[in-house]
């Protein structure tokens, strides 16, 4: 699969942009906020909730933060105005994390505070290993100033993840909220598991640790081995649809949350599995990216992980393998 992905990636520079747009429209809500709102209204009929991402990542000048701040501010307003069951996901490097940490902290705090006023949760997406600790530091800083409507993402493939789970759970005193995924970034074998089965096993172990730590656990995976393992782990801990979270006296996790856990999937991927989980009573959330930078986003994702190209090509050639 790796060779196939790389072969497809090599063809990208000569692939017409209109074709990439045609492929991307399945996975990207559209170029603007109104497009994202319409997609969410449509899919909400399937029992899904959402986390919304404004496309664009690492910036080169701190002035570029203004665009993301304004867009996320408008997004929060749109969620409220349209009564959408949605929270927001943002990338810390889009807020200047690798340029000026203090400025990034201030900008993220402003957005998180506005979201808190509207009872909306903020998820800090996790990028490559350069910002793993910095991203968690931001979450800890936000909780330190009373903003508890924020959590982050951890990547199962990284060796450090189990320790990070413990550190967050301990530091946040029962308010830790983590999305766990395998991780799209191809990290060195010095710091990460490599190979499909090792990454799946490490991710499953991370899910168990999150559940045992009392963390709100957002399971972001399209892999059936991960989903099946998660369902067994949830059930074995006395958790499940309609059951109050037994891990901390049945405390509520707040608006828009499940009973201690939820499943998350990308827009356009494994919709049949998502709908089945929803029918079974599990809270399911769709990751909805939108924005004018859809082309750069698509190419960047392919460069970071050529295997993604294979999955896209497979869903195009054999659409029954990836029903929406």
Condensed to tens digits (0 to 9), the pLDDT of residues 193-203 reads: 999 999 999 99
pLDDT of residue 263: 98
pLDDT of residue 141: 98
Token pair of 210, please? 């999150």
Residue 324: pLDDT above 90? no
pLDDT of residue 205: 98
Residue 319: pLDDT above 60? no
Residue 9: pLDDT above 70? no
Determine the average pLDDT of the residues in 267-287: 94
pLDDT of residue 322: 47
pLDDT of residue 276: 96
Determine the average pLDDT of the residues in 215-222: 96
Pick 88 or 247 by higher pLDDT.
88
Determine the average pLDDT of the residues in 148-159: 97
Condensed to tens digits (0 to 9), the pLDDT of residues 48-96 reads: 999 999 998 778 999 999 999 999 999 999 999 999 999 999 999 999 9
The Cα 7–Cα 104 span in angstroms is 38
Condensed to tens digits (0 to 9), the pLDDT of residues 24-55 reads: 667 889 999 999 999 999 999 999 999 999 99
* Fold classified for 29-290: TIM Barrel (3.20.20)
pLDDT of residue 1: 47
Q: How many C-beta neighbours within 10 Å does residue 34 have?
A: 12
- Domain ranges for the chain: 29-290
Nearest Cα to 32, choosing from 288, 305, 226? 288
Sign of CA dihedral 227, 232, 237, 239: positive
For the chain, percent of residues with pLDDT exceeding 70: 81
pLDDT of residue 54: 96
For the chain, percent of residues with pLDDT exceeding 90: 71
Pick 317 or 130 by higher pLDDT.
130
Pairing label, strands 284-290, 86-90? unpaired
The Cα 292–Cα 297 span in angstroms is 9
Cβ neighbourhood burial of 194 (10 Å; 0-12, 13-18, 19+): exposed
Average pLDDT in the chain: 88
Q: Categorize the per-residue pLDDT at 145 as very low, low, confident or very high, splitting at 50, 70 and 90.
A: very high
What is the residue whose two structure tokens read 């709100």?
A: 216
pLDDT of residue 298: 64
Q: Categorize the per-residue pLDDT at 20 as very low, low, confident or very high, splitting at 50, 70 and 90.
A: low
């Amino acid at each position: 699969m790796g060779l196939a992905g790389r072969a497809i990636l090599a063809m990208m520079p000569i692939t017409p942009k209109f074709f990439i747009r045609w492929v991307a429209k399945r996975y990207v809500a559209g170029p603007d906020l109104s497009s994202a709102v319409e997609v969410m209204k449509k899919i909400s009929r399937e029992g899904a909730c959402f986390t919304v991402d404004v496309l664009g990542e690492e910036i080169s000048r701190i002035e570029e933060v203004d665009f993301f701040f304004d867009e996320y501010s408008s997004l929060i307003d749109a969620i409220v105005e349209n009564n959408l069951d949605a929270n927001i996901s943002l990338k810390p490097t889009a807020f200047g994390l690798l340029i000026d940490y203090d400025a990034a902290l201030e900008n993220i705090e402003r957005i998180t505070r506005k979201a808190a006023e509207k009872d909306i949760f903020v998820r800090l997406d996790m990028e490559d290993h350069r910002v793993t600790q910095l991203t968690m530091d931001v979450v800890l800083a936000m909780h330190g100033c009373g903003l508890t409507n924020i959590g982050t993402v951890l990547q199962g493939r990284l060796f450090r993840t189990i320790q990070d789970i413990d550190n967050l759970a301990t530091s946040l005193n029962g308010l830790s909220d983590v999305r766990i995924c395998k991780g799209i970034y191809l990290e060195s074998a010095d710091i990460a598991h490599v190979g499909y089965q090792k990454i799946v096993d490490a991710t499953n172990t991370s899910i168990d640790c999150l559940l045992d730590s009392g963390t709100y656990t957002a399971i972001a995976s399209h892999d059936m081995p991960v989903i099946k393992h998660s369902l067994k782990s949830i059930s074995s801990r006395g958790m499940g649809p309609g059951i109050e979270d037994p891990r901390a006296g049945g405390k509520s996790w707040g608006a828009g949350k499940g009973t201690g856990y939820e499943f998350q999937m990308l827009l356009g991927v494994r919709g049949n599995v998502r709908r089945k989980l929803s029918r079974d009573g599990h809270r399911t959330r769709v990751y909805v990216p939108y924005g004018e930078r859809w082309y750069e986003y698509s190419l960047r994702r392919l460069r970071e992980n050529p295997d993604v190209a294979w999955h896209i090509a497979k869903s195009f050639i054999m659409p029954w393998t990836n029903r929406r």
